């Protein structure tokens, strides 16, 4: 696995809206780190908007009671660089929940691998579980605020064949 592009989420806040059975997370921030290469128009200091949505009715495909793995076919992830355009867009992937208190991340959302081998990883970590809105290994329909987590970040990873 080769990290082509690493972007840390420096956001003023996260928000989650639940409309019926659709979870919608939209956050904006400033790109704090960027490597050159696959996305040459993305630079540190750029403003971004990250939008994630999925239906919350999918079943856990992992038998472990502390691990939830969900494969919502409608999982949508869009990373837009404000004023420059869409850098990454994907439909499909997985939403994962790890509920064991000594492990992390709390949540991870991973896009489907694109034809160019890239996938976007969005990771929410709250090591002591004091603030993150986690209830068992159920599919998240609430993410709370950025300050609820020890860290929130995302990266675009190259997953070669």
Please give the residue range of the domain that contains residue 82: 2-158
**Nearest alpha-carbon partner for 151 in 99, 131, 37:** 131
pTM: 0.81
pLDDT at 54 over 80: yes
What local confidence, expressed as pLDDT, does residue 8 receive?
Answer: 43
Examine residue 8 and say whether the peptide bond preceding it is cis (omega within 30 degrees of 0): no
How many structural domains are present in the chain? 1
3-state secondary structure of 147: helix
* One-character DSSP codes across 72-140: -TT-EEEEEETTTEEEEEEE-EEEEEE--TTS--SEEEEEPPPTTSEEEEEEEE-TT-SSS---TTPPP
- Identify the residue with better confidence: 21 or 6: 21
What local confidence, expressed as pLDDT, does residue 109 receive?
Answer: 93
Dump pLDDT digits (tens) for 99-142.
877 777 788 999 999 888 889 999 988 877 777 766 678 888 88
The answer to whether 21 and 37 are in contact (CB under 8 A) is: no
């Amino acid at each position: 696995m080769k990290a082509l592009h690493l972007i840390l989420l420096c956001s003023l806040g996260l928000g989650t809206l639940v409309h019926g059975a659709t979870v919608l997370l939209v956050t904006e921030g400033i790109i704090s780190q960027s490597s050159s290469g696959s996305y040459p128009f993305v630079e540190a200091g750029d403003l971004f908007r990250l939008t994630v949505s999925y239906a919350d009715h999918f079943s856990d495909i992992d038998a472990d009671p502390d691990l939830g793995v969900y494969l919502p076919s409608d999982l949508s992830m869009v990373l837009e660089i404000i004023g420059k355009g869409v850098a990454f867009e994907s439909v499909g992937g997985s939403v994962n929940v790890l509920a064991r208190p000594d492990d992390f991340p709390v949540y991870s959302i991973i896009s489907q691998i694109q034809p160019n081998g890239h996938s976007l990883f969005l990771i929410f970590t709250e090591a002591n579980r004091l603030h993150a809105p986690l209830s068992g290994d159920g599919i998240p329909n609430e993410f709370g605020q950025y300050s609820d987590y020890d860290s929130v970040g995302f990266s675009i990873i190259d997953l070669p064949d």
